[in-house]
Amino acid sequence: MKAKIEPGKVQGSVSIPSSKSMAHRAIICASLSKGVSKVGNITYSKDIDATISCMEALGAHIEKFDTYCIISGTDILNQTGDRCLDCHESGSTLRFLIPLASQVKGKVTFKGQGRLMSRPMEIYETLFKDQNLVYQQEDTIQIQGNLKPGYYSIKGDVSSQFISGLLFLLPLLKQDSTLEILPPYESKSYVDLTLSMLKQFQIQIDTLDETHYFIKGNQVYQEKDVLVEGDYSQMAFFAVLSHLNHPVTCLNMDSESLQGDKAILSILKDYEKKKDVTIDLSNCPDLGPVLCVLAAYHPYKTTILHAQRLRMKESDRIEAMETELRKWNVNIESTYDTITIHGKKEYKMDEIVHIHGHNDHRIVMAMCIFGLCAKSESIIEDAQAITKSYPGFFKDILNINGKVTLYD
């Protein structure tokens, strides 16, 4: 699918889809509960569907309705037989579920698409091999053998998803465990989301200090009806559009949210000032692409720090944004973990700019926002990548008078 983007003034309001991060966590916790739970305000996407199908493969029964699902939980500790879990392109699904799947009495195979199986997984590989368990990774990941309770020490600068994966499992095991995070501890805000969801399902994790967690064993997930809050990482696209183009009202947001991507609100305040801006991306990496767009239209220097995690997403998002923004003559350069942009107020080209979406939903959405704020037209190829997280994105853009034409 291609999307032709024409400049123009937007206006109106948009109901932001539910948080993908929180939906993953709610579905997993409900699927581990002993009773029946309702998870409401769900926005279905390929990533969320991947988590649902994988939890079903692990024994949960899940009925999907338009905006909610009903989940009957599974006893993960007593599942037998070989299983195959298709995570599609969802890194959260894969990393959240490997520890849980280790409890199945049989061989479990994880498969995926795109760059998923090339994303860093050494932390789990090391944990499994240290406990003399099977962990094999080529085109798929195969595991066999039960991770045990005890002391765990993992790096805090690779992905918080490994930490969350262990936090889902360890409370279920027979003995207590301790989890140490080796500094620097980045993306801690995502772990806080996991802790908050676990608490809703009556799982207690004790935070001993900034880098140590105590997890009491023999805990039981209790059924719970929950509503998933709006997604600040998705809202960020409309917040930047509102800042650069014309005010847009964003609905369905929780002002008390713990989401790290809520940082977009304070970042935008910095951009209201006529000065250079420095952004630390360590706790909000998903904001990276749209912040590059924001920086491109800020007629000062923007420096984005701790951006290296962008290189390990659905695409190398630093390289992708550099490549596509340079087609608009944006002054952008990078190192492995920094991005520097010298912006200007407007961009206009003599010919239509052809943008490649890099099979990455956030690249497509970011470049759509750029095109709506530019002074000439662009065409985004691979625009169907939005279905990974936000299938209704272009519909919502059209509803606020954004000039987008979709075609094959």
Query: Which residues are known catalytic residues?
Result: 286
Six token digits for residue 220 = 């039981």
Cα 25 to Cα 21: distance, rounded to the nearest angstrom: 7
Residue 290: how many other CB atoms lie within 10 Å: 27
Six token digits for residue 228 = 């998933």
Strands (DSSP E) contained in 81-127 are 83-86, 108-111
Residues 400, 12 contacting (CB under 8 angstroms): yes
Cα 318 to Cα 341: distance, rounded to the nearest angstrom: 12
Residue 336: burial class (beta carbons within 10 Å; 0-12, 13-18, 19+):
exposed
Report the DSSP beta bridge partners of residue 5.
378, 404
Residues 95, 159 contacting (CB under 8 angstroms): yes
Q: Which letter does DSSP use for residue 352 in this model?
A: P
Six token digits for residue 131 = 């406990």
Six token digits for residue 3 = 């999307």
What residue type is 244 in one-letter code? L
Residues 143, 128 contacting (CB under 8 angstroms): yes
Instruction: Count Cα atoms within 13 angstroms, Cβ side, for 13.
Output: 6
| Strand, helix or coil for residue 348 | coil
Give the end-to-end CA distance of the chain in Å, rounded to a whole number: 5
Q: Which letter does DSSP use for residue 77 in this model?
A: G
